[in-house]
Amino acid sequence: MSSPAPQSVTLLWKGQSVAVSSVEHTLPVQPDASVRAKVVAAGVANPLASLPVGALEAVARATTNPEGVAVTLQPTAQEPAGLLLEENVEGATLRTITTRVWLSELLPGIQPRTGMEVMDVPDPQVVGTTEGGEPCAVVRYRYKDLRHLKDHVRQTVHSTLVLNSYAVSILSRKVTRPLITHAVEFTFEDGTEAFHALVVRDGITRLASAWAVLAGPDAEAADTADLVVSSLFGQVSGAPTGDGRTLSERLAAVRKNWRTTLAAEFQQAMKGPEAADRGVYIAQTYVVPAQVAVGAERHPGQLLAPEDVFDDAVRSILASVHVEFKAWDTAAQNVEVATRALKRVIQVGDAPVDKEGLQFVYGLAVGRTAPSDMPREYGDNRLPGTALWRGVQLVHALTRPELYDRLKDQAKTIKGGSRMSAKGFAELLGPIIDLPWRSAKKAVSKQARNAWSNGGVLTRDVLGEWEPVLTDDFTTLVAPALAGDVGARCTLAVAGGIALIADKLLTRNVGSALMAPKEKGGVPFRSDVHLVIEDLAGEGNELGLWTLALAASRFRDDALPDNTQSVRQFVRRDRKEGDEQAYVHIGVDLQQEDRIARDENGVPVPLFEWDVVWAADQKRARRAYDEYLARQSPATPLFAGVGITEGTGAEDTGATGESPAGESTRSEPKPEDPSVSGPAAAVSTGRRAAEYRRTLRAGLSSARIGLDGLSEIDRTAGSWPPVVEPAEFGDLRQSLLDLQTDLENLRRNIEGEDQALDEDEGEGQG
C-alpha cells in the first residue's frame, strides 16, 4: 500500500504563522547491523577512502541509507574511487559522499562564529591523523573527560542559537542544504575510552536550529542545548560497564532508543485527520542532508605535515563558503585567517625561526597556553606572566622580519587577496591580542578592533629589529627610552598602545570627534592609530613615553577603567569586593616627581583621548587648536582642558557613571487597591495595602538581586553566550516600563498633579 501523500499545514511558532508546505506521514526505518556492515566493507575496499574502521562504523550508523552509501563507496574497474564526489582545494583533494543522516547521530564541531569570544568551556585540542604517512579524513578531538565533551556540546548549541536561528525556515522547509561533516575520534585525558562519531563543521547553526524546532516554540536556547546533550549521551558515563559493550556501542544504543521513542511519538501525533504540531516538528527534523568527507589526498609539493592536510582543507572550504554566503563576524574571520597562516608557516618550515618556539607562540595565540606559563616556556623568570605581556610577546614574535612577510603571504593566500598592508595585518592581530580581556572589556571591543584595523600598535620601529625589555614596572623604561634604547621605546609603544586601545582611550578617529570636548571623546587632530603610537614613542617625546608607561602600568585585564568613553551606567558601577582604588588611567604632568597630573585638591586627573593625541604631537595639537579658536566667534564659550595638564574634567558630574537619583528605592505610602473584591474585602484596606507594599518591595528587591547576579556573571564569565539573550531584553525592558508607568499612575492618583509639581519646584530651590 502506498504511503499517504505529504500534507500542507500552517502552524503558529512563537506568535508567527508558518506555512509548512510538505509534511511526510512516515519516517525512515532504522536499518539493522548487517546492512550497516556493507558500508564498512566497501570503505575498507576503496583505496581512496582514507577512514579507519571506527570512522566507517560511525558513517554507517549515521546514514539512513547504508546500502546506497555502500554502493557509492564500492570501487569498480572503471571507477577505482567508486562514485565519490571530488573537491580540489589548495594542496589537497577531498572525497565525499552525500546522504541523509539521522539528526541524532551528528555532534556539533567547534563553532567558528564564536571563535573570537571567551567561552566558559574551552575547546578541545585538535590534531590530525594519518595512516601509512598519508592524511586520513579524520581529526582527533581531545577533551579532559566525558563531562567536558557534554559541556562543550551544550555550550556550542546554546551560543549558536543565541547568535542566530533558522528555526522558522527549517520548520517550513526542513534543512535543505547539506551539512558538511566528517568523522572525529573523541579521546580523553582521563583515560576514558575513545570513540568515533560524525561532527558538523559547516552548518552548525542549521544543526542547532533543527534541534530548536524539535524542542518546540516554548523552549529557550538553553533548553534546546540540554535536549541535545540528553538525547546524544543519555546517562552514559565514561566508566566501563560489566556487559562488555564499548563506550561507542553504549552511546549508539542511547541514540537508537531515543529515535525509537521519537518515532512512536510521531506515529501518535499523526493519527488524527490533521497532523499535530508535535508530529510536524519531528517530521521536519528527524533526518537532515549531509555531505560526509571520507577521503583526503594531498597534492605533490604540499608542504603541510600529513596530519594537518585534511583539517586545513576543510577549513579552506569553510572559509570560502562564509565569505561568499553567510559571512562570519569579521573578528571570527580574522582569528581563522591569522591562526591558519601561523600554522602553515610552522609546517612549511622555511622561516629561520625555531619551530618549537613557534608552536608555543601558536598555543599562546589560540589560547591553549596561559600567560602564566610564559616565564617557564621562555626560560626567563623576569618575564611577567600577565595578559598584557602576552600581548607584547605575541606582537613581537609575529612581527619579526623573518616571520612577518611569510605570515602576510599565507594570510593573503587564505583570504584570496593580492596584497596585505601593515594595517591589514594589524586587523588580524586585534582579536588574538584581546583574548584575555574580551569578556571584561566587551563593551568597547568593537571600537578597539576598529583601532587595530587602523594600524594598531604596528609602528615602523615595532616592525623593525628590537627586543622587549622585561619589567614589571613600565615607568622604569622611560629613562632608557629617552636615552635611545630602541627596545625600551618599542616595549612602551606596544604595551602602552595595547592598553590605550583596549580601554578605548585611543580609537580610530572619526570626523565628529575633531575638536569635540575632551570629556566627550574629542581629539585635537585626526591621525591613524599606529601613527599616534609612533609619535608617543618617538625619540625625545618625554610626555608621550610617560603617557604610554603609565597606561601600561595601570592596565587591568579584568575591568574597564572609570574614564573609558563608553556607555555610562545609569545607576552605579559596583566595585568588586576588596578593590581599594578605582581603576582609572591618569594624565601626565612632567613637573611632578611621579609625573602624575593632579588637580588643586591633589586628586589625580583622569586621562582622556584628547590628552593621548595631544601628547603624541604637541606642536601639531597646539597649532590645530589655535586655528580652531581663531575660527570661533568671540562669544562662543571655550571648552575646558586643552593640554595634558590643563583641566580636570571634574565639572562633568556624570563621569563616574553614577546617578544618585537612580538609586532611590523610596515607595509611595498608602496606595489603594481597587482590584480586590468578594471575600477578600473582609480584610481591612490598610492590611491589604500593607501586604501589597511588602510584596512590591520584595519583588523589586528580588529583581535587584537577579540583575546584580547577572551583572556579576557578565563581568566574570565568558562573553558568549550572553547572560541574557538579546531577544529577552525587549520583554524585560517592556515589563519594567509597564511597572514604572503603573507606579507613576498610582502616585498621581494619590498625590495629584499639583502636589507633584510643587514638590519638583521646591527641590530646585535653595
Element (H, E) at 278: helix 277-285
Q: Is residue 704 part of a domain?
A: yes
Distances (CA, A) of 719 to 118, 134, 335, 439: 5, 39, 16, 5
Check residue 641 and give left, alpha or beta (phi > 0: left; psi -120 to 50: alpha).
left
Give the cell for residue 540. Answer: 625625545
Helix %, strand %, coil % for the chain, to 5? Answer: 50, 10, 40
Whether residues 413 and 502 share a domain: the answer is: no
606 DSSP assignment: B
Taking only Cα atoms into account, the Rg of the chain, rounded to an integer number of angstroms, comes to 31
Whether residues 534 and 635 share a domain: the answer is: yes
Among 378, 401, 433, give the residue marking a domain's end: 433
Q: Is residue 573 part of a domain?
A: no
Q: So what's the pLDDT on residue 235?
A: 92
Whether residues 182 and 219 share a domain: the answer is: yes
Q: So what's the pLDDT on residue 595?
A: 94
Pairing verdict, β 7-13 and 125-131: unpaired
The type of residue at 273 is P
Q: Is residue 237 part of a domain?
A: yes
Q: Is residue 260 part of a domain?
A: yes
Q: Spell out the residues 6+ positions from residue 122 whose beta carbon is closer than 8 angstroms to its own.
A: 152, 367
Whether residues 344 and 462 share a domain: the answer is: no
Whether residues 465 and 497 share a domain: the answer is: yes
Whether residues 543 and 486 share a domain: the answer is: yes
Q: So what's the pLDDT on residue 241?
A: 82
Among 433, 457, 486, give the residue marking a domain's end: 433
Among 378, 402, 433, give the residue marking a domain's end: 433
Q: Is residue 562 part of a domain?
A: yes
Whether residues 551 and 676 share a domain: the answer is: no
Instruction: Give the residue from 168, 55, 148 showing the smallest Cα distance to 105.
Output: 55
Instruction: Give the residue from 277, 437, 300 showing the smallest Cα distance to 367.
Output: 437
Kindly report the backbone phi and psi dihedral angles of residue 53, in degrees, each rounded to the nearest multiple of 5, phi listed first: -60, -40
Q: Spell out the residues 6+ positions from residue 349 whose beta carbon is closer than 8 angstroms to its own.
A: 303, 355
Q: Could you give the CA distance from residue 538 to residue 578 in angstroms, rounded to a whole number?
A: 38
Pairing verdict, β 92-102 and 287-298: antiparallel
Whether residues 623 and 745 share a domain: the answer is: no
Instruction: Give the residue from 162, 163, 124, 158 showing the smallest Cα distance to 328.
Output: 163
Element (H, E) at 296: strand 287-298
Q: Could you give the CA distance from residue 194 to residue 623 in angstroms, rounded to a whole number?
A: 69
Residue 698 C-beta-side C-alpha neighbours within 13 Å: 6
Q: Is residue 349 part of a domain?
A: yes
Tally of domains within the chain: 4
Whether residues 405 and 444 share a domain: the answer is: no
Q: So what's the pLDDT on residue 762?
A: 40
Q: Is residue 577 part of a domain?
A: no
Q: Is residue 483 part of a domain?
A: yes
Whether residues 429 and 445 share a domain: the answer is: no
**Dihedral angle sign, alpha carbons of residues 473, 478, 484, 488:** positive
Whether residues 418 and 443 share a domain: the answer is: no
Domain that holds residue 348: 329-433
Q: So what's the pLDDT on residue 273?
A: 81
Q: Per-10-residue mean pLDDT for the chain, 766 residues long?
A: 69 90 89 92 91 95 95 81 80 90 95 66 86 91 94 93 91 93 96 96 94 95 94 91 90 96 94 88 96 90 76 77 55 74 71 73 80 88 94 93 84 75 88 85 87 94 95 96 96 97 87 78 91 95 97 93 59 46 89 92 92 95 88 50 39 34 34 38 64 84 85 72 80 87 82 50 39
Whether residues 500 and 639 share a domain: the answer is: yes
> Are 265 and 75 in contact, with CB atoms under 8 Å apart?
no
